[in-house]
Amino acid sequence: MKKNLYVMIITVLIIFFNIFFSKTCLADITDEVEKQLKEMELNRINSFLQEIEKEYEGYVPSFDINFILDFIRGKNRFDVKNFFISLFEYFFKEIKANYALLAKLIAMAVVFAVLKNMELNFENNNISNLAHSVVYMVLIIIAVQSFYVAISAGKNAIDRMVAFVQSLVPVMMSLLLAVGGKVSNAVLHPYIFAAITASSTWIKDIILPIVLLIAILNIVNNISDSFHVSQLATLMKQIMILLIGIFLCVFLGTIVVTGAAASAVDGIFIRTMKFASKNLIPIVGGVFADTVDAVIGCSLIIKNALSLVGLIVVIVITAFPVIKIFSIIFIYRIAAAVIQPLGEKSLVKSLEDIANSLVLVIICVASVSIMFFIAITVILSAGNAATMMR
């Protein structure tokens, strides 16, 4: 009876202790996480986040070290609804900024139509053809200028993604190592850095020039009724899509399989070491294993928070340049719709082809974004899988 009483008293004391000190323990864990986070070298990431916030001020939340801490505390400052509203606002801002482009295109179409209607008044048809060619050349210049703006926006987005991921990956890899992902760190670190460099070079120096060539071929195809290169443009487009598809398949397939295999090995290794420390070293081994678990847990929280912030930043870096390019596409679509009643089929076809070429630029930027998104996700899942398996 007395023994049962002692058991009940001890049980009540344990429950009371857990209830009374649970918040304190949680606060201690949060404090330890914040302490580890502040001791890390995050200056490069922090300056990068502030640069994005400055450029897109009013459209994105405040990106700084406190943004990461809020993620850890569960206070998410990234509102998806407000983000989409900001994207719409930015889109209409870009539409307003491109009013001049729309006015130029419509003016060129009107001049083109007037020259065509006055063709019979010219004594020599060569003069009429020359006038048409001059107007078309002006259109080509306008198209190339706007296309250059889109290409520049795409390249800047890729450069920013590369710079951000290069600054993020070393920090995430050190945290992956802290949670016991020794094999994952050794395998993924060099592979991801090589993939980042390769994807940047591949898209910027090979794919985007092909897109520019496709746009030029489409414009040239509509200059004359006797000279056509539409099949060559179609062939180049198919080659471009094939190259992107091959690169994505190789990158994604390799990194996913490698990450899964490495995390499995890490999980087995951690579990073995934990079992050995608890059973081979009496008393102290169990305390040591529990302490290591606490440190690993804090590192895992930081790594997951950084990974989520990294995914959000990659989305932001991708979204705004894509919106900028999409606004130019929208302008060309409007211009083609307005010009079509004037009867200028070649001009309308040229505008449609330019818009379609700009869509290819968006595909290139989105491809790089997907690769980096998957890379960060694999690092995130590698640490989590290794920790769960232990």
| pLDDT of 20 higher than 70 | no
- Which tokens belong to 161? 């993604």
**Continuous H helices in the chain:** 2-39, 43-55, 65-73, 80-97, 99-117, 125-178, 182-202, 208-221, 230-280, 284-339, 345-389
* pLDDT tens sequence across 61-114: 766 666 666 666 666 666 777 778 888 888 888 888 888 777 877 777 777 777
- Reported confidence tier of residue 390, pLDDT bands at 50, 70, 90: low
Q: What is the pLDDT of residue 9?
A: 42
Which of 53-57, 137-141, 155-159 is most confident? 155-159
- Reported confidence tier of residue 12, pLDDT bands at 50, 70, 90: very low
- Which tokens belong to 287? 């305390």
Angle ∠(84,338,105) on CA atoms, nearest 5? 85
| pLDDT of 15 higher than 50 | no
Q: Contact at 8 Å (CB) between 45 and 313?
A: no
Q: Whose structure tokens read 């090995």?
A: 265
Which of 83-87, 94-98, 157-161, 274-278 is most confident? 157-161
Domain ranges of the chain: 147-389
Across 180-200, average pLDDT: 75
Across 9-32, average pLDDT: 42
61: left (phi over 0), alpha (psi -120 to 50) or beta: beta
- Which tokens belong to 225? 């009724």
Q: What is the pLDDT of residue 147?
A: 82
Q: What is the pLDDT of residue 24?
A: 41
Q: What is the total residue count of the chain?
A: 390
- Reported confidence tier of residue 2, pLDDT bands at 50, 70, 90: very low
202 Cβ neighbours under 8 A, 6+ residues apart: 243, 247
- Reported confidence tier of residue 123, pLDDT bands at 50, 70, 90: low
203: nearest Cα among 360, 32, 33, 36? 360
- Reported confidence tier of residue 40, pLDDT bands at 50, 70, 90: low
- Reported confidence tier of residue 274, pLDDT bands at 50, 70, 90: low
Q: Contact at 8 Å (CB) between 386 and 299?
A: no
Percentage with pLDDT > 70 across the chain: 62
d(CA 87, CA 84): 5
Q: Rounded to 10 degrees, what is the CA torsion of 157, 163, 164, 165?
A: 110
If one compares 322 and 146, the residue with the highest pLDDT of the two is: 322
DSSP track, 66-82: HHHHHHHHT-----HHH
70 Cβ neighbours under 8 A, 6+ residues apart: 76, 77
| pLDDT of 167 higher than 70 | yes
- The mean pLDDT value of the chain amounts to 72
71 Cβ neighbours under 8 A, 6+ residues apart: 305, 308, 309
320 Cβ neighbours under 8 A, 6+ residues apart: 56, 59, 87, 90
β-bridge mates for residue 57, sequence order:
60
* pLDDT tens sequence across 104-116: 777 777 777 776 6
- Reported confidence tier of residue 336, pLDDT bands at 50, 70, 90: confident
Q: How far is CA 16 from CA 10, 12, 13, 30, in A?
A: 10, 6, 5, 22
Q: What is the pLDDT of residue 31?
A: 57
Q: Contact at 8 Å (CB) between 306 and 172?
A: yes
Q: What is the pLDDT of residue 367?
A: 87
d(CA 373, CA 371): 5
390: nearest Cα among 290, 259, 257? 290
The model's pTM: 0.78
Q: What is the pLDDT of residue 17?
A: 40
| pLDDT of 378 higher than 50 | yes
Tell me how far apart the 2 most distant CA atoms of the chain are, in Å. Answer: 123
* pLDDT tens sequence across 217-261: 888 877 766 777 878 888 888 888 888 888 888 887 777 777 776
d(CA 206, CA 364): 11
- Reported confidence tier of residue 45, pLDDT bands at 50, 70, 90: confident
| pLDDT of 26 higher than 50 | no
If one compares 6 and 187, the residue with the highest pLDDT of the two is: 187
Q: What is the pLDDT of residue 208?
A: 87
Which of 18-27, 50-59, 182-191, 367-376 is most confident? 367-376
If one compares 252 and 343, the residue with the highest pLDDT of the two is: 252
